[in-house]
Each structure stands twice: as structure tokens, then as C-alpha cells.
Amino acid sequence: MGSSTLLLTGNIDTIAQMSCNPAIGGQAKGQMVREIDALGGEMAINTDVTGIQFRLLNESKGPAVQSPRAQCDKKAYQYRLKHTLELQPNLEIFQATVTGLLISQGRVRGCQTNLDLDFRAATVVVTTGTFLRGLMHIGQNKNEGGRLGDFAARTLSASFVAAGIELRRLKTGTPPRILGRSIDFTRMEEQKGDHQPTFFAFHDTRRDGELFHVEHTFERRLGWAPGCEQVSCWTTHTTGETAQIVRDNLHLSAMYSGEIEGVGPRYCPSIEDKFVRFADKPRHLLFLEPEGRATNEYYVNGLSTSLPFDVQVRLVRSIPGLEKAHLLRPAYAVEYDFAPPTQLFASLESKKVEGLFFAGQINGTSGYEEAACQGLVAGVNATNKVRGVPPLIIGRQEAYTGVLIDDLVTKGTNEPYRMFTSRAEHRLLLNHGSAELRLLGHAAKHGLLGADRLQRITEKRDRIQHWVSRLESERCPGITWGDAIRRHERAAIEHPDFARESLPVRQEVAYRIVYKGYLEREQRQVEKLAQMEHVRLPVDLDYLSLRGLRRESAVKLAAIRPLTLGQASRISGVNPADISILMVHAAAGRAGESR
């Protein structure tokens, strides 16, 4: 977008460091990474380039719920992204810890740092991760910091509170890391990557030769033969002994001894939670994930805990294949401050402080992909704000990114929020392959992709539309190709001209033909709701004095301050009669403006 930007970080060497497992994608998240690519973000290409194992999840189900997932080389991922930032025009990077914000007259003016250097800016995006008053727990042992070996941002919270921004605590956890040569892999099951990897970036509309691999990090644009030399993950499981150790030491766990006030995620329970909440389940599956090619460190997925270190050692060694395991880093739980996201507009700008944007875990989310989507949107909107351009707001029917942000700012969250495909009511429209088609309009409008790539996406979209209508009308003979495909009598690939199309085009066309009825059904639902999405509500609307509105609804509306009627309708407790009244007022407001 060309705006002059400063990146302040407490440690340049940990830019894009994966604090949790070295994997990108998976259910719903994989779709989000492709959306990031469609909006000009780096996560997809960075994953493709540094990935060491690729798998397409849910291959047996329909395309809408298939998701790419990759194990990455943790260090390579981090270095490549750091290098990309270094080469990025208009971006300055500087190492300093932000200690406070400069705010005057309800507007952010910049920030202060631990080096006593102040930086002035028209807009500021805050991405504190787990570092805001981060506190790590290992049994009774406590250390300040957002990640093992790192510091905590101790004073910045006070700056938010002083500005009237409410903060609360969340908790997350991470398992121990283990030395590979102490693992007996013969006692585990191997999980290999797909023979034909599914990549995240849209290489068909990106320029040729952009794909290069971790071994060639510093030689840009060198091609790499996909699919070669993937590494494996390994699975094992807990035993009766593991369960016994957990039960015997439950009182020592930070989470069970009342040391932790933050709320943890239900979908990522600690091993303590698993044995307590699912007491009748005899064993739990564990995954050993390699952290890279140039390291022998393994991540034990499924074994997050806040038990004391000596108990962790016994725990790990009760697991088949890990009898002689050497722990390189202990598991720990981390608590941190977040700002309930209903305090934000859908642009991710604070309602309290103008020009201040929040993205990532400070908004109560968890996950690299969720954070990246928000960072992208917040960044775009910080620029739009400076330029006086309307913000980028992505609809729930357009992308998981839209679902994510709308959920956050409309409903808030009580636990670290992770995306699931079930959160998207128009899930069938959000298949990973269509991300750049769905977001083409936004990318063009906000200048997020180069003209040549936009051109290629437009051509791809037109080719897909051409083929859908051609196959729906051309007969083969007797019935149309579309009907023949849906009845499994013919495959689209049997059409001689179609077979020459590129794989991404063929896949999208096949999806639209095979799932035609369902896609049209969702499209109709979307169109019904579109009317409400198009009615904008003034930010300064005085709900409490609106005639006819119930008091209870007025209070909720005044707190959320929805930007559209659609958003208003998703606030819990706002009923259809309230929406009728708002619609009349919104229309009256528009008529007033035009006079």
C-alpha cells in the first residue's frame, strides 16, 4: 500500500517465531492462510517455502472442508520472514520494547519505549501476543515472560487501562520439547506427508519461479521440486501409568492448585484436563512433530501441562517410545492480558482511542493464522485511516477472516478463540481453492496485489465462469455435461477441451458443478442477508434515545455500536422488532444526509 511503517519489536531475532507447534494450517486455518495469500500476505508463501511436510486434511470429505496443513522448519520459517521484512520497501524495523502509548484528546499519537525513545505515528497497531504481563507456570514455579526464554511487556497494560480499555486474563499452554535421538521411533507409528503436496499460496496466479525452498533461502526465485524429502511425524499414546502420574500429582499442577486465574481453551486442554474431564478414556493420542531439518528437537503435540518439571519427566517417560526421552525444554502454561474485542470496531480500531488498532492474541484469539488475518486487516485499516479511506471489512460470506473479526467484535470471547469451520454459517462458499476469487474485489480496491496478479486472478475467474456455464449447457449427448457429472455418468475431465485447463481451474469448476444445488442454496441465504449488510448505521447513533427501541436492546447496541444492520442483528438479545426500528431510522438518516 506504500505507507511509511515502523515495526517495533522487543527482539528482532524472534520475529515470526512459532511459540507453539511448528505447523501452519489445518481445519479452517488452512483456508485462512489461503485468504491471507489472496490479500497479499506472506504467511502462505512463507509456509510453502519452509514447509517440510504437507498434508491435505479431510480428503475424503467435500472440497469446502478440505484444508491444507504443513509442518514447517521453525527456524527457516522465522529467518525467511525476517529477511522478507528486511527487504520490504517503506518498512523500517527497530528493536525496542514498547512501554506505553502516547495518547491525547482521545487519539493515539505514538508510543514510548524502554530506550527512552518516543516514536510518533498517526496510527498504531498493537500485537502483543502472550507478552502483555505474561506469566509462565511450571508447577509452583513462576517466571515473567510471554514465551520461555523471553521477557514480558510489564508496563504497557497500564497505558491501556488509563485510556479506559478493559483488560482480562487468558491462559494457554505448550508441551515439552524432546531431543530426537533420545526417542525410540520403532515404538511409534509414522505419519508421512502427502505424495503430492497441497500448497497454500496461489502459485497459478503468482509469478512463475517464486517457489523456492528452505535450502535456498538466500537465493531468491530458485525453483524447487515440490514433494521431495518430506519429513515424517510420529504418533504414540499415553498409558495407564501416565494417567496415574497425572492423577497422583494433580494438586501440584498450576492449573489445579488455583495458581492460574486466566481462562484456557476447551479445544486445547492440558493433559491434566484430559484425564480429569474424560476419566473413562484410557489413553490419549500424541504426535511427535519435528521442529526442523537442522535440529533434532521434537514437539510433543497433545501433552500440554503445567505440572512441575520432575513430574513432567516421569510423565514423558511413561509413554511408549519416550522411555529414555531427554527433555530440552519443559512444558508450561502462560497467562497474559487481553482486551475483550467487543471494544473494537470491525475495522479493528479501538472505540476508545482513535487511530489505535489491535490484532492477534490481545483480541482474545489463539493461533498463528487467526493472528495473521487480523494483523493484515488492522494494517490495511491503519493505512486507510490515515488516508481517510473507508476501512476493509470482510463479510462473513466472503472469508473466514470475516467470520473471525465479526465474531470477535460482535460477540466477544471467553476463551482463546480458535477458528472452526462450523463457525461459518456459509461454510460451503469458503472452500480453500476459491479464496483469491472471493477476495478479488477487496484486494483490488485496497491495492493489496499487483496489477498483473489481479489481472491473472480476473482471467482465472472468467475461465471458471466460462467453463461452468459451458458444461451446464453443452450436451454429451442427451443430457448436459453438468447433469452427467452430478449423476456420476461422466467426469468433467473427459471433456476434451476441459482437460487442457489448469488444475486449480478444473478443481473449482468441478466443485461448482458437483455441489451446484447446495452452493445456490447458500448463495440465496447470503443474498437475503445482504440487504441488512448493506444498511450502514452511523457510529454516533444515540441508541438510548431512539424512539421505539427496547431499553435492553438499546444498551447492548450502544455498547457494541455496530457498523451495519447485519452486525446489529447478530448481537445476542437484539430482536427482529428492534431491527425493523433500526432499519427505519437508518433510512431516515440517509434521507436526511442527502437533503
Partner 1 sequence: MPAEPDTIAALSTPAGTAALAVVRICGPNTAALSAALAGGAPPPRRALRRDYHDREGRLIDDVLMTYFPAPRSYSGEDTLEISCHGSPYIVQTLLEDLHARGCRPALPGEFTQRAFLNGRIDLSQAEAVMDLIQARGERALHAAHQQLRGALSERMEGLIDRLLSLLAQIEAYIDFPDEDLPEEDKASVINHLSDLLADTSHLAATSRFGEMLRDGVKTVIAGEPNAGKSSLLNRLLGRERALVSPEPGTTRDFLEERIIVGAHCLRLIDTAGLNPAPAPLEELGMMRTRERLAEADLILVVIDGRRPEELWTDEIRILSRDPRSIIVLNKSDLSEFVDWDGATSSPTLAVSALTGAGMEALFQAVVARVDAYSLEIGADAVAVSARHAFALAAARAELECARANLQHGAAAELTASHLRGALSAFGEITGKVDNERMLDQLFAAFCIGK
Site residues (vs partner 1, CB under 8 A): 26-28, 57-58, 61-62, 64-65, 69, 237, 266-269, 273-274, 277-278, 281, 284-285, 287, 301-302, 304, 420-423, 425, 427-428, 515, 518, 521-522, 524, 527-528, 530-531, 534, 547-550, 572, 575-577, 579-581, 583-584, 587-588, 591
Q: What is the CA radius of gyration of the chain?
A: 25
Neighbour-count burial of 525, counting CB atoms closer than 10 A to its CB (0-12 exposed, 13-18 middle, 19+ buried): middle
Closest approach, Cβ 381 to partner 1, in A, equals: 26
Considering the complex, state which of residue 94 and residue 518 has its C-beta at the smaller distance from partner 1. 518
Closest approach, Cβ 587 to partner 1, in A, equals: 6
Phi, psi of 95 (to 5 degrees): -95, 115
Closest approach, Cβ 391 to partner 1, in A, equals: 22
Closest approach, Cβ 109 to partner 1, in A, equals: 39
Closest approach, Cβ 319 to partner 1, in A, equals: 14
Taking alpha carbons only, the member of 527, 494, 526 closest to residue 510 is 494
Joined together, the cell numbers standing for residue 490 give 461422466
Considering the complex, state which of residue 380 and residue 510 has its C-beta at the smaller distance from partner 1. 510
Give the whole-angstrom CA distance, residue 552 versus residue 558: 10
Closest approach, Cβ 170 to partner 1, in A, equals: 16
233-237 and 189-191 strand pairing: antiparallel
Joined together, the cell numbers standing for residue 129 give 501476543
Closest approach, Cβ 484 to partner 1, in A, equals: 19
Give the whole-angstrom CA distance, residue 261 versus residue 574: 32
Considering the complex, state which of residue 337 and residue 578 has its C-beta at the smaller distance from partner 1. 578
Q: Residue ranges of the alpha helices (H) in 163-268?
A: 240-248
Considering the complex, state which of residue 11 and residue 580 has its C-beta at the smaller distance from partner 1. 580
Considering the complex, state which of residue 83 and residue 570 has its C-beta at the smaller distance from partner 1. 570
Closest approach, Cβ 69 to partner 1, in A, equals: 8
Distances, alpha carbon 517 to alpha carbons 158, 479, 486, in Å: 54, 17, 10
- The DSSP-derived string for 298-339 is EEEET----S-HHHHHHHHHTSTT-TT--EEE--EEEEEEE-
Give the whole-angstrom CA distance, residue 43 versus residue 200: 9
Joined together, the cell numbers standing for residue 57 give 486434511
Considering the complex, state which of residue 272 and residue 337 has its C-beta at the smaller distance from partner 1. 272
Considering the complex, state which of residue 204 and residue 483 has its C-beta at the smaller distance from partner 1. 483
Closest approach, Cβ 523 to partner 1, in A, equals: 10
Taking alpha carbons only, the member of 487, 483, 460, 482 closest to residue 471 is 482
Give the whole-angstrom CA distance, residue 38 versus residue 107: 32
Considering the complex, state which of residue 27 and residue 95 has its C-beta at the smaller distance from partner 1. 27
From edge to edge, which strands make up the β-sheet containing 51-57? 23-25, 67-72, 51-57
Considering the complex, state which of residue 161 and residue 584 has its C-beta at the smaller distance from partner 1. 584
